[in-house]
Amino acid sequence: MALTGKNLIAGQWTGETENGFVAFNPALNQPMTTRFADATDAEVEQAIVAANKAFYPYSQLSAEKRAQFLDTIGEQILALGDDLVKTACAETGLPEARIIGERGRTVGQLGLFANLLRGGEYTAVIDKADPAREPLPKPDTRLGYLPLGVVAVFGASNFPLAFSTAGGDTASALAAGCPVVMKAHTAHPATAELVAQAISSAITLCELDSGVFSLIQGENYGIAEQIVKHPLVKAVGFTGSERVGMILQAHINQRPEPIPFYGELGSINPQFVLPAKLAENPAEIAQGLVASMMMGQGQFCTSPGVWLVVDGEQTEAFEAAVKASVEAQSAGVMLSPAICRTYQQTVAKWQDIPGVSLLAFGQQGESHLAQAAVFTTSLATFIEQAELQEEVFGSTALIVKCSEASELLQFVSALRGNLTASIHAADADISLAGELAIPLAHKVGRLIYNQMPTGVEVCASMNHGGPFPASTNVRSTSVGSEAIKRFQRPICYQNLPAELLPSLLKD
Amino acid sequence: MALTGKNLIAGQWTGETENGFVAFNPALNQPMTTRFADATDAEVEQAIVAANKAFYPYSQLSAEKRAQFLDTIGEQILALGDDLVKTACAETGLPEARIIGERGRTVGQLGLFANLLRGGEYTAVIDKADPAREPLPKPDTRLGYLPLGVVAVFGASNFPLAFSTAGGDTASALAAGCPVVMKAHTAHPATAELVAQAISSAITLCELDSGVFSLIQGENYGIAEQIVKHPLVKAVGFTGSERVGMILQAHINQRPEPIPFYGELGSINPQFVLPAKLAENPAEIAQGLVASMMMGQGQFCTSPGVWLVVDGEQTEAFEAAVKASVEAQSAGVMLSPAICRTYQQTVAKWQDIPGVSLLAFGQQGESHLAQAAVFTTSLATFIEQAELQEEVFGSTALIVKCSEASELLQFVSALRGNLTASIHAADADISLAGELAIPLAHKVGRLIYNQMPTGVEVCASMNHGGPFPASTNVRSTSVGSEAIKRFQRPICYQNLPAELLPSLLKD
């Protein structure tokens, strides 16, 4: 199916594309040709109202029907074939192997939730009646879960498939029984449209209400405000920058009715290289960190942005290995010109921060490409300069050289919330690792030992979230099967006859 | 131990009581004598900083130690003996039997969480490593839970024990591993101090850091703002009016770091009396509803505030029975003069709402007592007059007479969020009950069949919450063992050596 450039509003492709916006091919450094509509207020309203209308019938579907729908979306995404891969590569500058891998993960996520639904989407808690209890009889009470209602999802720039149109937020919301109104990221509107076509086909094949999914295109920022303030929207999922996330949060705070906002924002993912580990093989750990930093051109939310070492005999060898490794890195394509510009400006700015030194640049490329960069600083400077705790989206890292091991604990104490942290330790480091692990756990959503933070398992025990600003809602994960809980809420059924109970709550 | 009138700040009783406030005995209609301090900014700051200092050590205690602490608090509350009962009765006007029952519930709640801790405070999810997996090895990932940090709790006027100083919010926060800074309700400062003495004794007996619990007294409203905006406060529990709750929410919205706000606000708890049920025995259901409405002088959050009937042959008999039953009710003491005044003003105002008719008044009493009142109206008026959906705290209810059964569904569609709703149905009503139950479930936290809403079981399958304004956080319950989850958050441990894993996550 050809691209329309339009919005998908409850089954209809609508909108004026003539004066619309275009995507950009960051690898070719040139705009693309398809024009995309800016959704109007009326279209956004129509999408949300249709989603709300679809809510009760959709939420009443059996778990098996919802599972079939998720599986069908996955099949339809695969049926898009090479078109989808080529389009996503063109719009994001990400390599084909990565997009194919991400497509697999996206389909896998849909399958994970389908399996969850088939296995029982929640664990029922049943306390039966005890009419003989004194002083008062105990009624029959059963705890189940209901979907929240219409969920708004904002696509992420850095995962055009796995955190976008049919990504983790959409999959978990649909699994929970919530219709989704999706705002496509402006950097990959064609990828979004193709995936929306797949979802639309799945809706038709599964004979569902077309209001279950709508795709909103548009550069006009007012669209986001309209969506998150809408009284029929009952939860919002977002992955992006702290700056944009906090604008959405401010809009949501103006609602008369509070709703959950699942914003996955910034993270610097500190890497603690403990002394014995560093001594074992400084070059190996250096190369491992640089490789992790370079993944996706540093555009992973779990990119290791700060590396801590205790200054000692091995520091020089470590820094030399980092330098050699960074200098061998080619300049790379970033997701969009705006992202690349921000990265370049931040790297330039860091060179002027007193107490921060440039250790190494990667290879220089054309002006639209990003050059890797690693800096060094002291703990005192890191603590003084608040901006060093802000995520720099791209292939850069800051080595914080601590004068002694106790400074690692001071660092943890000053640290804001993060998605992840890794402790790299040898056997001789175990006692220091234990001391660090306790306070560090309270600052992160995932605590890692001797592994790099990039690469997030999609499984039941994953947590992708963490204290603010890693997430605006520390009690939730945006990856893994627990993500469905963001869009469900508890309900107690008291003394209900069996025929009125949800199937999971019957005897 | 005598009353000090002071704040308990991390183990020290501090504050100037000389110009402090006094409580009021609503039954005697006269002020009490003990003066209570208004906590200063410095005292509030000190309490929060001490709580934060106590957080890591307290959160590291074994589950058994935390369970012992909760049990000891319960024992120390019982050890207060008659003093506590007499004090709570004097400050609230609630009868002795009720306070003794509530004390039992409070101690029972502490025991419930102690048992939960002993049985494993959460269910571990463990996905072991699979080094042979293609294309990438699967790391070992384990999902556990951590306490959030310092929790601020605001005492409720209507449950001086079970939702106050050592009530459900405090018990669940302490169980989760969170220190508590408690703001006592100004209507029962002496009750709060006695219970704080019990907690303080338990802290000493269990050899805990005194920062684990502080009690803040004060009439100065700035105290609440200072507490909820404090950067070290990581969650807030509140039970009270929608008006005050939304003021707290607005303060919390101004924080740079979003935190969960568990506000249990208003609820009108609609009661649907279906036609066959009404026909069976109009007098019995009428008397049941009036009795439920009169519980605690109508000051239960689950008080049945709106009763729906389909106008028909039995309406007259039903109304006559309600009238007879209401007219037999004595006027009663309310929790405070302010609450009584608001109740009386609202009842007076309702008499002037066009389309609302007074059906019956209870017996008149002295001017400081509240007189029961039941009104009737049509569905059209209920939908037009938004104020009829606001909770009236006290012994009143509104009968909404629907012209046909389909109007019951229209009512549900117009209904805001509620803690509970009951469907009263006979066998012949089952199909209508089924039609109602689906949309009604989406409006309530607890759906009840053929039972009154007053009386909340404290058990694992309870949900005391619901869509806004029943709760500011629909995904949480403030009653039952699930309440602990409000103060915990997930964390994934990846590839950690056994010695660094929490005990519940070891193999």
Averaged pLDDT, A357-385: 97
Q: How many CB pairs under 8 A join A and B?
A: 186
**Residue A319 annotated in active site:** no
> How many CB atoms sit inside 10 A of residue A330's CB?
12
Judged against a pLDDT cut of 70, whether residue B24 lies above it is answered with yes
Buried b (16+ CB within 10 A) or exposed e, B126-143: bbeeeeeeeeeeebbbbb
Query: Distance, in angstroms, between A289 CA and closest chain B CA?
Result: 17
Cβ-contact B312, B276 below 8 angstroms: no
B47: Cβ contacts below 8 Å, ≥ 6 apart: B7, B9, B10, B39, B181, B211, B214, B216
Confidence of residue B201 (pLDDT cuts 50, 70, 90): very high
The DSSP output letter for A498 is G
Give percent of chain B above pLDDT 90. 98
Give residue A342's pLDDT: 96
pLDDT tens for each residue of B95-115: 999 999 999 999 999 999 999
Residues of chain B found within 8 Å of residue A500, distances taken between Cβ atoms? 430, 433-434, 437, 449
Number of Cα atoms under 13 Å in the Cβ half of residue B26:
24
**Is A478 in contact with A262 (CB distance < 8 Å)?**
yes
Closest-CA residue to A490 (of B76, B123, B341, B460)? B460
Helix B96-118, helix B168-176: angle, nearest 10 = 20
pLDDT of A1 reads 61
A345-380 b/e with 16+ CB inside 10 Å = b?
Answer: ebbeebeebeebeebbbbeeeeebbbbbbbbbbbbe
Closest CA to A371 of A363, A360, A381: A363
The answer, for B315 touching chain A at a CB cutoff of 8 Å, is no
pLDDT in tens, B65-84: 999 999 999 999 999 999 99
Active-site residue, from B301, B319, B340, B407: B301
Contact partners, residue B308, CB within 8 Å, separation at least 6: B270, B271, B272, B273, B399, B400, B402, B408, B411
Q: Are strands A373-378 and A444-449 parallel, antiparallel or unpaired?
A: unpaired
Ordered DSSP codes for A293-362: HHGGGG-STT---EEEEE-STTHHHHHHHHHHHHHTPPPB--S-HHHHHHHHHHHHHHTTSTT-EEEEE-
A418: β partners: A444
Residue of chain B whose Cα is closest to the Cα of A148? B442
In this predicted structure, the answer to whether residue A130 has a pLDDT above a threshold of 80 is yes
The interface predicted TM-score (ipTM) is 0.97
Whether residues B258 and A261 touch (CB distance < 8 A) is answered with yes
What CA–CA distance (Å, rounded) separates A421 from A441?
8
Q: Do A474 and B91 contact (CB within 8 A), yes or no?
A: no
Does any CB of chain B come closer than 8 Å to the CB of residue A97? no
CA distances from residue B381 to B306, B343, B345, B376 in whole angstroms, order as listed: 13, 21, 20, 10
Structure tokens at B333: 């003491």
Cβ-Cβ contacts under 8 Å, B449 against chain A? 493-497, 500
The one catalytic residue in B193, B264, B319, B391 is B264
Candidates A2, A393, A51, A8; CA nearest to A184 is A8
Contact A73, A44 (CB under 8 A): no
B482 interfaces chain A, CB cutoff of 8 Å:
yes
Task: Name which of A261, A449, A465 is nearest B495 (Cβ-Cβ).
Answer: A449
pLDDT at B2 over 90: no
Whether residue A63 contacts residue A121, with contact meaning beta carbons closer than 8 Å, is answered with yes
Spatial distance between the Cα atoms of A80 and A101, rounded to a whole number of angstroms:
15
Is B242 one of the annotated active-site residues of the chain? no
Q: Are B265 and B245 in contact (CB under 8 A)?
A: yes
Answer for the pair A179, A58: CB distance below 8 angstroms, yes or no: yes
Is B131 in the A-facing interface, judged by CB distances under 8 Å? Answer: no
The answer for residues whose C-beta is within 8 angstroms of residue A105's C-beta and 6 or more apart is A161, A162, A458
CA distance A110 to A67: 9
What is the rounded average pLDDT of the residues A1-21? 94
Mean pLDDT value of segment B198-226: 97
Closest-CA residue to A228 (of A292, A277, A183, A278) = A183
Does pLDDT of A332 surpass 90? yes
Q: Is the pLDDT of residue B274 over 80?
A: yes
pLDDT of residue B1: 61
- By Cβ distance, the residue of B430, B474, B489 closest to A475 is B489
How far apart CA B30 and CA B296 sit, in angstroms, is 20
Span A173-190, pLDDT tens digits: 999 999 999 999 999 999
Distance, CA of B124 to CA of A412 (rounded, Å): 26
The confidence score (pLDDT) of residue A176 equals: 98
Nearest to A441 by CA among B129, B361, B56, B110: B56
Q: B317 burial class (0-12, 13-18, 19+ CB within 10 angstroms)?
A: middle
Determine the Cα–Cα distance for residues A240 and A161; give it in Å rounded to an integer: 14
Residue A174: C-alpha distances to residues A165, A203, A414 (Å): 12, 12, 39
Of B125, B261, B460, which has the smallest distance from its Cβ to A460's Cβ?
B125
Strand partners, A358: A375
A81 to chain B, any CB pair closer than 8 A? The answer is: no
Burial B422-459 (b: 16+ CB within 10 A, else e): bbbbbeebbebbeebbeebbbbbbbbbbbbbbbebbbb
Distance separating alpha carbons of residues A22 and B268, to the nearest angstrom:
51
Tens-digit pLDDT profile for residues B294-319: 999 999 999 999 999 999 999 999 99
Would you call A463 an interface residue with chain B, using a CB distance cutoff of 8 Å?
yes
Question: What would the mean pLDDT of A41-54 be, rounded to a whole number?
Answer: 98
Give the residue on A whose Cα is nearest the Cα of B496. A449
Instruction: Catalogue all structural domains in chain B, each as residue range(s) with its CATH number.
Output: 47-122+145-265+471-490 (3.40.605.10), 270-449 (3.40.309.10)
Fill in the amino acid letter for A36.
F
Tell me if B138 and A460 make a contact (CB, 8 A cut-off): no
pLDDT at B25: 98
Q: What are the residues whose beta carbons fall under 8 Å from the beta carbon of A345, sequence distance 6 or more?
A: none
Per-residue pLDDT at B452 exceeds 80:
yes
| % of chain A at pLDDT higher than 70 | 100
The length of chain A is 507
Average pLDDT over chain A, rounded to whole? 97
Q: How far apart are the first and last CA of chain A?
A: 48
Residues in chain B, total: 507
Q: What is the mean pLDDT of chain B?
A: 97
- Average pLDDT rounded to a whole number, residues A39-61: 97
Which residues are within 8 A (CB) of B69 and not within 5 positions of it... i.e. 6 or more apart? B61, B174, B202, B203, B206, B208
